[in-house]
Structure 1
Amino acid sequence: MTSEGWGTPPVEPISQHYIVCGGNALAHRLVLELVEHYEVPVVVLVTDRTRDHAPQIEQITGVAAVVEYPNLTEEALRAVSIDTARGLALVEGSDQDNIHAALSAQGHNPDIRIVFRMFNQRLGENIERLLRNGAALSGSATAAPAFAAAALGRPNSVEIDGRYLHIAFDDAISSDRICVVADHIDRQDLSKIRLLPEQEGDSAQFVRLAREFGDDGPVRQGGLRRAPEPEPEAGPDSEGEPERGHEPAVGPEVEPEVEPEVERAVEPDPGAEPEEPPGGIAALQALRMEPREPISWARRLRWRVLDTMRFLTNARLRVVLLIALAAVLMAFAVLWYLNRDFGWTVYISLLDLAGAAQPDQQADIAAGTGTGGLWQRVAQVVITICGITFAPVATAIAVEVLGSGRRGLPRNPSAGTRDHVIVVGLGNVGTRVATQLHEMGVPVVCMERDPQARGISAVRALGIPVVLGDGPFEEQLRRARLKHSRAVIALSGDDATNLEAALEARHGNPDVRVVVRLFDDDFAGHFYRTLDNAASRSVSYLAAPAFAAALMGSEVRGTLSVFRHVLLIAELTVEDGSGLIGLNRHDLEDPGGVRVIAARFARSNQLHWGFADRTRRLAPGDRIVVAATRSGLARLNTVLVEEV
């Protein structure tokens, strides 16, 4: 690897390489993906090799060159040999800068594959149409579902043809699972997890049925062996023939017959405890619709009542209002007693309470045409005076309710906020996560120290309250009503800050679930071993495989997390000249790398789940959906671009 100065192209002429523009965490992970899993030459263009992740990128073995330019200009693109490159990834800078660089790169090299990061996904889709061979991805949009699902304590999902694929663990695994995606799961040592372990072939069930027939034992209806009854314990001096239905006892001199380790088709004992797999397992399952988090009307009403009660928190105010309320009720009772007309009594009481009472004139009283007697006039006076006390409180409540409903205005968490998720940090990822939780119907409160953060206006437009300020986390979390929250997600760009927020949240509420954004894997391992009811995710770790796969021409539909490991759901198209032509399921799959979960054949719109025919060979126009590890998808992408 060589490191070059400003304006200087790589020392060695290079071609057929891939260019990564950026020195952030995503660029770091992306370079690792390309070098370690795709084994392609990579040139990195950074603005400052002493900042951010640029020093770590320089140390990666296999990087062809690191070029430093302060701006992504035409000169900088020529310095990294844009004319002879196969692909360009723009993963840093603003949307505007990336659009300009993408269009400039296409002008230098019309056939280059361009993948660029865009926060505005709608704008990115429009820019894709201007490029001959480009794709716009959002790292925050790719990672946000994993953070939101982790906060709710459920797996995130990836939508494929109307089904929502998700990861289920241990007891949550159902009989209609698609495939096992991980085993040997140990929270104390996450390195033991095996992704996509070897599974028995489709013929294993028929082999198992065949073994149930013959001389090996009795056969029940359907050809399945009856579950053997337990043998009685025999003492050292026991003799004689065993009871019918039991195997003869094996003495020390007799070698017992050892059966192959194959799953038996016996009926389970309904009272028996399920056998725990060693270290736990995870499986891929599908739902017909994505689960939501609906909030019942009763909970909403309770929050509104609690929110209104905050106007009565002052002790003196409570005493005054209670006395006034008691006086109004007594005056109402007097009016009802005098008139014996409940409807008229309510009507005149409300008018008096609002200050709209019509007083009796002295001439009317003398003439005997007044509205009532002395006690009625006293009751009306009492109600009118008490109305002066209630009016300011009612006005304050109305202004608060109407004002907080206006979009874009600052709004603090209300006293009735309950069962909410606190999102710490309103960068790109924090804004995405807060928005997604809000769309799912989950109450959200955001925290941000920088008043100029781009996400503040976006979440306020949705009516999400934001706690602003640079004070200690303890005070900020208290204002965000930590005591009543269900989860805290720390999403700043600094691992130490996120960990501080998580630990402070756990100190203030031992039962709260914490989800932390961490880049460092060792840091995350200590985090899992130290805290329970916690989860850690890495934005770059979740997004980098999708960017790398897109750079190679395949489409990653989503990423699923198995703790700190990532499983990719990708859809591949078999095109003319592709190396996938003629391959069957046996050729495509490999333990620990790739599992084919569905296929859509040419001239057919139906997606076949399972793809049971292992001998059918792929033809141009076919599409396959796979669950793959990073290295497994890299192998498929390498085959995808090969010439026949």
Structure 2
Amino acid sequence: MREIMHREIIVSGDDALTKTIAEELRGAGARIIHINTAADLLGAGVHRARAVVCAGPNDAVNLEIALLARQYSPDVRVVARLGNDVLREAVAVVNGPGAILDVADLAAPSLVEAVLSRNAHQFDSAGTEFVVWGAPAPYDGTLREIYADLAPVAVVHGKKSPNPGEVVACPGRDLKVYAGDFTSMIGVKDELEARGIKVPPRTATRSSQSRVRRAIDALRAMRDDVNPMLLPSLALAAFLTIGSATVVRFAYQNPPMSWLDALYFTSETITTVGFGETPFGQQSTFLRLFVIGLMFTGVIITALVVAFLADLLLSRRFVQTAGLRRARRMRGHVVVIGLGSVGMRVISDLAAHGYDVVVIEDDENNRYLPTVAELDVPVVFGDSTMRQTLESARVDSARGIAVVTDNDMENIETGIVLLELLGSDTKTPIVMRVQGRALGTAIHQRFGFENVRSIVDLAAPWFIGAAMGLQVLGTFWVGQRSFMVGAMLVAAGSELDGRRMVDLTTQTRVIAVTRPEGPVSLRPRRNSQLQAGDTVYLIGPYRELIATLRKGQPPPLTAINGGRSAALAAARSPLRRLPRWAQEETEV
């Protein structure tokens, strides 16, 4: 019996990210089978599927599908989206082929790079530290004339160019650029530094605040937040204590009471902590009636004072006021608007690298507030679409602003208010998070925002690459276009087996090649030939990388009478000499 090897990829989820993943995989030649629950796995043919991708927004559904898929088929690639840190780390240990990914972790690095206006993206490939470095072209000329043998990654044409705004991916070195065009080049870090190109540091120094200043801020915040009735209540309690002590001092007879005893008796009566140490059975009727009134009055006054103090100490307004006071003194800080999972990752990255951060959040019960407090980051509570809230966070003196709430419409409205507040020609980078790719493009074109980041564009390449066998090493943006760095294995009998570098698509660039036996080849020559078993490190737009990955995969294999053909054995023959991750990815 003759059987064709199946190439199905099972996808679950119905949000924008999942739909994009399914569309891209289908465009790369995969047959997509959509499921809704783990109960559909067996009917979808999980035993013969190439991969299972569960990228919907529900962690519980994704976890169930991932675990059952691995149970049903130990060799299938399982690519799952899990936002819970504990679950993600635990499942990743036992997952096997595939990947366990978190959208917030994937999106945060690009958002941080944009908000800090970093012109360098660093990553490790084939044991070598590469740097994608960007800067405006200093003068008119070809890339070869300006940058010599540095490999170009992208060019964003500027105002002097015949096509301003056009992004050219992985151009040739003979492409002509004009002064002011943004050029993105890649090279080894040591080479760049030898050319005098300084790679900016990833860290900064957070501003320090003395304990005295913190104490003063706390006292002022307490003063501003105090209930107006607290001071009158305290004054009344003091007057009642002194007046009652005076009456008891002179009215109590046989034996007479000292001032200290009178004050002690009055205090314990008003605070309701005790009564009975001093007998009043033989005292005058006036004094006994007076003490009865003192007891009831003391209960009321004490209850009011305790209530007002508790309101002051436990009220979140106190925390808000303290955050506002710290924010007003900030300079050169980063304002992060929105304390969701993505916002929390951005804040953590910035704080870990020493940058001052101010958060704007409208939910006083946000579950990430304790984590932000541990990072010593002030929070301004309020509506981010209101000018007063933005001004409280000192956006006018910020080095960057990240608008990363979970609501696209709120992000857009906040971005528009920021432009009105700072001016359309502001140099402060405003990074806006949106969900879909089309909406991000429309916002960029209509409102002129230079740093619109689509969560789908940031996360989808990782899921697609993991499903198809590409080891994704990083993503970054040039202009409004997403680029990816990845490693792939050249399979025996594939389209890339024996192909020369010059015959590869111009939309991707090979930065290194490693062979099972031999040194790393950096920037291989145009006439170099790829061989089965090579691990190729590529950079370029992720759609082009996926297309190249497809060419590097083995052709459809056949099995006759239930046995594998000789072609399958030949395709797998170099596995013992390959890296472990490459061995896993060839198990189709």
Settle same-fold status: TM greater than 0.5. Answer: yes
- Residue from 17, 22, 43 that aligns with 2:8: 17
Name the CA distance, whole Å, in 1 between partners of 2:22 and 2:164: 24
The Cα of 1:626 is off from its aligned counterpart by 0.9
Q: Which residue of 1 aligns with 2:157?
A: 185
Do residues 197 (structure 1) and 171 (structure 2) align? yes
Name the CA distance, whole Å, in 1 between partners of 2:527 and 2:123: 25
Secondary structure of the residue aligned to 1:82 is coil
The Cα of 1:181 is off from its aligned counterpart by 2.1
Note if contact 1:419-1:484 (Cα within 8 Å) is conserved in structure 2. yes
Q: Which residue of 2 aligns with 1:213?
A: none
Name the CA distance, whole Å, in 2 between partners of 1:550 and 1:427: 26
Q: Which residue of 1 aligns with 2:134?
A: 168
Equivalent residues in 2 for 1:87-106, closer than 5 Å: 87-106=51-70
The alpha-carbon distance between structure 1 residues 295 and 280, as it changes in their structure 2 partners (threshold 3 A), is closer
Note if contact 1:423-1:488 (Cα within 8 Å) is conserved in structure 2. yes
* 1:580-608: CA deviation from partner (whole Å, max 9, x where unpaired): 54344234x2112x21011233235x543
* One-letter amino acid of the structure 2 residue matched with residue 193 of structure 1: V
Q: Which residue of 2 aligns with 1:558?
A: 474
The Cα of 1:150 is off from its aligned counterpart by 0.8
- Residue from 517, 526, 546 that aligns with 1:634: 546
Q: Which residue of 2 aligns with 1:147?
A: 111
Name the CA distance, whole Å, in 1 between partners of 2:521 and 2:402: 38
Do residues 292 (structure 1) and 202 (structure 2) align? yes
Name the CA distance, whole Å, in 2 between partners of 1:88 and 1:457: 36
The Cα of 1:76 is off from its aligned counterpart by 3.2
The Cα of 1:18 is off from its aligned counterpart by 1.5
The alpha-carbon distance between structure 1 residues 309 and 114, as it changes in their structure 2 partners (threshold 3 A), is closer
Do residues 41 (structure 1) and 13 (structure 2) align? no
Equivalent residues in 2 for 1:62-461, closer than 5 Å: 69=36, 72-73=37-38, 75-120=39-84, 123-155=87-119, 157-160=121-124, 161=127, 163-171=129-137, 175=147, 178-183=150-155, 185=157, 192-199=166-173, 276=178, 280-287=182-189, 291-295=201-205, 300=208, 411=323, 414=326, 415-461=328-374
Name the CA distance, whole Å, in 1 between partners of 2:349 and 2:476: 17
- Residue from 10, 19, 26 that aligns with 1:28: 19
Secondary structure of the residue aligned to 1:29 is helix
Do residues 624 (structure 1) and 536 (structure 2) align? yes
The alpha-carbon distance between structure 1 residues 292 and 279, as it changes in their structure 2 partners (threshold 3 A), is closer
Q: Which residue of 2 aligns with 1:253?
A: none
Q: Which residue of 2 aligns with 1:349?
A: none
- Residue from 488, 497, 507 that aligns with 2:420: 507
Q: Which residue of 1 aligns with 2:521?
A: 608
RMSD: 3.9
Do residues 598 (structure 1) and 509 (structure 2) align? no
- Residue from 395, 398, 408 that aligns with 1:495: 408
The alpha-carbon distance between structure 1 residues 439 and 585, as it changes in their structure 2 partners (threshold 3 A), is same
Q: Which residue of 1 aligns with 2:459?
A: 543
Secondary structure of the residue aligned to 1:591 is coil
Note if contact 2:111-2:346 (Cα within 8 Å) is conserved in structure 1. yes
Note if contact 1:158-1:558 (Cα within 8 Å) is conserved in structure 2. no
* One-letter amino acid of the structure 2 residue matched with residue 632 of structure 1: E
Secondary structure of the residue aligned to 2:472 is strand
Name the CA distance, whole Å, in 2 between partners of 1:481 and 1:277: 35
The Cα of 1:576 is off from its aligned counterpart by 6.4
Secondary structure of the residue aligned to 1:105 is helix
Secondary structure of the residue aligned to 1:632 is helix
Secondary structure of the residue aligned to 2:430 is strand
Secondary structure of the residue aligned to 1:33 is helix
The Cα of 1:549 is off from its aligned counterpart by 1.0
Q: What stretches of structure 2 of length at least 5 have no aligned partner?
A: 191-198, 223-315, 556-570, 572-588
Secondary structure of the residue aligned to 2:106 is helix
* One-letter amino acid of the structure 2 residue matched with residue 195 of structure 1: A
Note if contact 2:158-2:178 (Cα within 8 Å) is conserved in structure 1. no
The Cα of 1:470 is off from its aligned counterpart by 5.0
Note if contact 1:306-1:416 (Cα within 8 Å) is conserved in structure 2. no
Name the CA distance, whole Å, in 2 between partners of 1:554 and 1:90: 17
Q: What stretches of structure 1 of length at least 5 have no aligned partner?
A: 1-13, 46-68, 201-261, 264-274, 315-403
The Cα of 1:574 is off from its aligned counterpart by 4.2
**Deviates further, 487-496 or 525-534:** 525-534
Note if contact 1:128-1:136 (Cα within 8 Å) is conserved in structure 2. yes
Note if contact 2:218-2:322 (Cα within 8 Å) is conserved in structure 1. no
* One-letter amino acid of the structure 2 residue matched with residue 624 of structure 1: V
Q: Which residue of 1 aligns with 2:390?
A: 477
Secondary structure of the residue aligned to 2:185 is strand
* 1:22-47: CA deviation from partner (whole Å, max 9, x where unpaired): 122221221221123x13222333xx
The Cα of 1:91 is off from its aligned counterpart by 1.0
Note if contact 1:145-1:156 (Cα within 8 Å) is conserved in structure 2. no
Q: Which residue of 1 aligns with 2:243?
A: none
Name the CA distance, whole Å, in 2 between partners of 1:576 and 1:122: 39
The Cα of 1:166 is off from its aligned counterpart by 2.3
Give 1 or 2: higher helix fraction. 2
Q: Which residue of 2 aligns with 1:569?
A: 485
The alpha-carbon distance between structure 1 residues 447 and 145, as it changes in their structure 2 partners (threshold 3 A), is same
* 1:456-497: CA deviation from partner (whole Å, max 9, x where unpaired): 333332222223345753233233232332221111233221
Secondary structure of the residue aligned to 1:572 is strand
**Deviates further, 25-34 or 540-549:** 25-34
TM value normalised by structure 2 = 0.64
Name the CA distance, whole Å, in 2 between partners of 1:176 and 1:308: 58
Q: Which residue of 2 aligns with 1:467?
A: 380
The Cα of 1:538 is off from its aligned counterpart by 0.9
The alpha-carbon distance between structure 1 residues 556 and 107, as it changes in their structure 2 partners (threshold 3 A), is same
